[in-house]
Structure 1
Amino acid sequence: MKVKFSQFIFAFLICYSFCSFAFAQEKPIALKFDEFDDSGKNPFYSDYEKLSFFQRVERFLKQLEKERGATVYVIYYQARINNQDVREMFVNGANGISNLIEYNDRIKVEGVVIMNGGYREKNTIEFWIAPKNADVPRPTPTLDKSETFICPNINIYANVHLDDEKTIDFYVRSENFKELDNYTLRWNVSGGEIIKGQGMNYIVVKLNDSTVKRVTAFLEVDGLPYPCQKVSTKTAQVRGELYLLDTFDLVASGEFKTLLDSFMSSILSNPTAKVYFIVYGSRAQGDRDAAKRISLIRSSLKFRGYDMSQLTIVNGGYRENVSTDVWIAFDNAEPPEPTPTVDKKFVKKFVQPKKQPRRKQ
């Protein structure tokens, strides 16, 4: 059968167009949506764009509403110098993103993958969006594990005894090192006399001067890895009217309970003293943060059997990140005033997300 020249040309053009189109279609690639580290004081806060971890996640979730069928990759990198509390908090934050996506019924992605990318100079998180059939993004660590250090988060706590003994107990608690026997500990105090514990993980300070209002303990730890912080301090209020005992934001569960015990020990020997917990919600989460923190403080103190009549828990408004100020008032001093830093107008109103129904297999 003879084929006309015009038919041949037509078939050739169709084949050429199809083949050109096929070769022109490149394989889709994964796209990086965001990357940030913990440049700020808070491990969930970046100084570069002044956006909190939660604000970045919110921005990411909005983008995912447009990415149907894609696969989400969250890659986290651990810092060269780290402590276990911050590392766990950062990793848990990365893992928590998958829950936020699962409970958002407006997001229809194929799946969420959390990847340990290795080590970099700072704790870092990357958000990736991979279209269907795209290759998995490759982590890009900049350090080997041998170049990293785990440093202890050395926290000093104080118990004040204003009874007949008139002493202060200072002690150090580390989440990372169960024993401090391998290190040399040197204590110094701004007032009083160390009568017990020098060289150990606690000291007892005798108050010889009745006019001393506060005592600061200084602890130097020798033998830690070179980059680790070797000096820590703690001030114990002995006398005075109103004193800011401590301020803390995001802390690990174990440290949180230890903080509460330390705060309460400050009033056990002084029945006229009172402790005020002023709780601030965050700009990104608002009243949700404050309510959770207040509930946790109240339940933890009740569980430990503390006298709640000496405690006052106050919702202080809002700050950039959830935080708590702990005040101790002696001799019927006036209660402390809250010091919020963000007006309610600029705080996001939290709405409980609906749980996405599970798909039938």
Structure 2
Amino acid sequence: MLRHIIYSLAFIFVMQATLRAQECHVVVQSEAEVANAGVPVIFTANAGCSEPIGKAEYQWVVSAGTITSGQGTHQITVDTAGLFLQEVTATVELKEPGAKSYGTATATVTIGGCGLSRKFDQYGELSFNDEKARLDNFAIELQNNPGAQGYIIAYGGRRGHHGEVDARLERIRNYLLNRRGLAPEFTVTLDGGYREEFTIELYIVPRGFDTPTPTPTVSPNEVEKSNETTDVL
């Protein structure tokens, strides 16, 4: 009978320990959702447990960058040098050495490039096949950098056709979305005004950073438009 009671008490103790582990809630926070490349990023974990958990440690893993300090504690610093237009996801696990985990949590920071847009390419009048080759490279770069957003700015020439810019932007957007599979919310087209010659600019910008500013060089009242409409689709 005594042995049965001891076994029962031991079972209850184990169940209570398991419940305590399940009642821990771990959260990870960063100082900001977006940071500049080369600037250290700090991640902080907070754990709320209904019971004391002993000598628990915070074990961190990051998807990019290097942990420079804090491994094993509730706060780490990550070096982001060279991580232009990437995401850093920090995952923490709260556990006792050699024991079961009390919980995990993650947080993600997008690494930009000092808040500036990066011009990826620029070109003038091209055949559609040549333009598709340029757009393919643009799409690949965006897909390799999930923290980036693509901007396409089109400038009409001093001499051109009515509707030229709108038609060209529509063709570019359709190609990037339907043929290259880019998400519409991350592919933005802009009418940049006018330049001496028809021009397309392709920009890659960290999400959450400023939109590239168009730089027209010709005033609209100086433009000579043909009465013919353009059809590039």
- Structure 2 length-normalised TM: 0.48
Q: Which protein, 1 or 2, shows the higher relative CO under an 8 Å CA cutoff with sep ≥ 6?
A: 2
Q: Which has the higher strand share?
A: 2
